[in-house]
Amino acid sequence: MESLVIRGNAFTAQDEYHVQALEDCLVCIDADGWVDRVLSPDDEDYASVLANSRQHHQLRELAAGEYLLPGFIDLHVHAPQWPQAGLALDRPLADWLNVYTFPLEAQFSDQTFARKVYRDFVKTLLAHGTTAAMMFGTIHVDANLVLADECRRQGLRGYVGQVTMDNPDQAPDYYRDHSTAAALAASEQFIQRVQETVDPDRLVTPVITPRFVPSCTDAALAGLGNLAAKYDLPIQSHVSESNWESQYAIDRFGMHDAAVLDHFSLLTSQSVLAHGTQLTTGDMQLLKQRQTAIAHCPISNVYFGNGVLPVHRLLALGNQVGLGSDISGGYTPSLYHNIRQAVKSSRMLTDGVNSQLPAQHRGVADSQITAATAFYLATAGGAEALNLAAGRIAAGCRADLQVVRAHRLWGNETTADVFERLMYQTEAADVKNVYVNGRLVYEN
C-alpha cells in the first residue's frame, strides 16, 4: 500500500553512460520509505493508482517545468570544514592545512560551535539536493555525535566518521589523537554510541576513518582495520590525492598508499577512497579486486590533485566511482557544480592543456565523459559505492528524491535537452523539494 505517490517527469541513470527519461510516471512509495513500483501511463494499474492516491490525498503532482531526480550522494565531504568553504584555495597545501584547516577542526572540541556549524551544514546539503553524504567529522567524539544527531533530526542519510590522526610527525600537538590506544578507543566509543542511539529510519552509519596514510601510525591503521572487520562497517579515507601524499607513502612504506591501506585490511567492498588522481594502473586493479570505490572530487582536484582522475578509463576497467564535493578542498556543497566540473576536467584531460605541444601529444585520448556519466556518478554510482539501495528511481530503491525546477524552457526542447539543461543550470534556488525515505525533509 502506497503512502505517497509522486506524479511527473523524471530522470534516472540507466547505466554509466545513459539516462532514462520517465514521462508522466507515478512513483509509488510505501510506508517504510521504499519505492515499491514506478508506473508509466500505459501500465494497466496507472489510472486506478492515480485515482486512489488522489482520493486519499497521497498524491504529489509536479507542476510544468518540474522534474523528479534521485537525491544526490556526496561520497566525500569534511563537515567541520564548512566554515572555511571558499577560503584559502590559493594557499599551498601545507598552509591550507596548518594555517586554516587544523585550527578550524580543533575548534570542534566546543560542542556549541559544532552544533551551530553542523545544523547549517546538514540543512545546506539537503538544500542542494543531496540526500546522503559520507562525511569526515573531527577527532572529537562528542562533536561527531552532534553531526550524527543533526542528520537524524533533519533527515539526511549520514555516513559519519570519527577521524583518526595519531602520527605526531604529521599532525600538530593541538589537534591530534594523543596516543594510538586513545584514538582506537575513541573510534570504538563513537561506533557504540551511534549504534545505541534510537534511529528508527536507520539514517546514520558510523564509518572507520583514517584521515589518510600520513596522519596515522602503523598501529592505528592496523587497529582501524580490525575495528572495521569487528563491526562490519564502511571505511573512508584519501588515496593518491596529490604528488606529495603519493610520494609520502612510497618514502615511508616503499609502496603506494593503496597498497598500504590494503596491507592494513582497509580496502574492502565497503571502502570509499577520495581523489585517486595519482593512481597507477596496478592501483586501479587492486581497488577493483577489492571492490573499493573511488570518490571523484573534480573541483577539489583542480586545487590540490595535481592531475585529473581518468573517470572514463576507471569505468571501462570496471572500477566503482561516485562523486564528492570535498568541502572544503572543493568550495561548494553543490553536486550540480561538481557534475559540471567532472565533465569540464575530462574534456581538458582529453585535449591536454599545453597548446605549445602538437595536438596529438597534448592530452589523454578518449578521456571525456558526458553529463549523463557525471549524473550517474552523483546518483547510482554513489549508491553502489555505499552498497545502498538508492540513487535510482526504481522499485526496490529507497525513496531518496529531489524535485527541481527547470528554467528557461522555450517549448521546443527535446527530453535530452531538458536533462542537459538541468545538469548545467540547476542551482540551490531551483531545488524545490527533497525526500529521504519518502519523507519530505526540505521544502523551498
Of 272 and 399, CB closest to Zn ion: 272
Of 274 and 293, CB closest to Zn ion: 274
Of 330 and 438, CB closest to Zn ion: 330
Taking the mean position of all CA atoms in its chain, how far away is CA 332? Answer: 13
Task: Write down the least CB distance from residue 136 to Zn ion, Å.
Answer: 7
Q: Per-residue string for binding with Zn ion, 170-209, x by CB under 5 A?
A: ----------------------------------------
Which helix (H) or strand (E) is 432 found in, with range? strand 431-436
Q: How many angstroms separate the CA atoms of 435 and 401, rounded?
A: 5
Task: Write down the least CB distance from residue 344 to Zn ion, Å.
Answer: 20
Of 228 and 274, CB closest to Zn ion: 274
3-state secondary structure of 60: strand
Q: How many angstroms separate the CA atoms of 65 and 68, rounded?
A: 10
Residues with Cβ within 8 Å of 289's Cβ and at least 6 positions away in sequence, in order, are none
* Closest alpha carbon to 385 in 164, 210, 134, 151: 134
Which helix (H) or strand (E) is 163 found in, with range? strand 157-164
Question: What part of residues 244-283 is at the interface with Zn ion (CB under 5 A)?
Answer: 274
Of 78 and 340, CB closest to Zn ion: 78
- Residue type, position 81, single letter: Q
Task: Write down the least CB distance from residue 327 to Zn ion, Å.
Answer: 9
Of 154 and 237, CB closest to Zn ion: 237
Piece in contact with Zn ion (CB under 5 A), picked from 3-11, 154-162, 198-206, 326-334? 326-334
Of 68 and 216, CB closest to Zn ion: 216
Task: Write down the least CB distance from residue 274 to Zn ion, Å.
Answer: 5
Q: How many angstroms separate the CA atoms of 396 and 394, rounded?
A: 6
Task: Write down the least CB distance from residue 408 to Zn ion, Å.
Answer: 35
Piece in contact with Zn ion (CB under 5 A), picked from 57-65, 137-145, 320-328, 371-379? 320-328
Of 300 and 373, CB closest to Zn ion: 300
Task: Write down the least CB distance from residue 300 to Zn ion, Å.
Answer: 7
Task: Write down the least CB distance from residue 31 to Zn ion, Å.
Answer: 37
Instruction: Using the structure block, give the residue that is written with the C-alpha cell 604529521.
Output: 170
Which helix (H) or strand (E) is 313 found in, with range? helix 311-317
* Closest alpha carbon to 159 in 81, 97, 215, 78: 78
Piece in contact with Zn ion (CB under 5 A), picked from 9-17, 201-209, 319-327, 347-355? 319-327
Piece in contact with Zn ion (CB under 5 A), picked from 34-42, 321-329, 398-406, 431-439? 321-329
Task: Write down the least CB distance from residue 329 to Zn ion, Å.
Answer: 6
Piece in contact with Zn ion (CB under 5 A), picked from 127-135, 150-158, 245-253, 323-331? 323-331
Task: Write down the least CB distance from residue 76 to Zn ion, Å.
Answer: 6
Instruction: Using the structure block, give the residue that is written with the C-alpha cell 486519499.
Output: 56
Task: Write down the least CB distance from residue 169 to Zn ion, Å.
Answer: 20
Of 177 and 326, CB closest to Zn ion: 326
- Residues belonging to the chain: 444
Question: What part of residues 102-141 is at the interface with Zn ion (CB under 5 A)?
Answer: none
Number of residues that bind Zn ion (CB under 5 A): 2
Q: 268, 287 in Cβ contact below 8 A? A: no
Is residue 310 classed exposed, middle or buried when 0-12, 13-18 and 19+ CB atoms within 10 A define those classes?
Answer: buried
Piece in contact with Zn ion (CB under 5 A), picked from 156-164, 181-189, 324-332, 431-439? 324-332
Of 234 and 363, CB closest to Zn ion: 234
Taking the mean position of all CA atoms in its chain, how far away is CA 368? Answer: 21
Q: Is the dihedral of CA 128, 130, 131, 132 positive or negative?
A: negative
Q: Which runs of consecutive H residues, i.e. helices, occur in 232-275?
A: 243-253, 257-263
Q: To 10 degrees, the CA torsion angle through 53, 54, 56, 61?
A: 80
Of 74 and 400, CB closest to Zn ion: 74
**Grid coordinates representing 442?**
526540505
* Closest alpha carbon to 329 in 32, 96, 144: 96
Task: Write down the least CB distance from residue 113 to Zn ion, Å.
Answer: 21
Q: Are strands 2-13 and 19-30 parallel, antiparallel or unpaired?
A: antiparallel
Q: Which residues make up the interface to Zn ion (CB under 5 A)? A: 274, 326
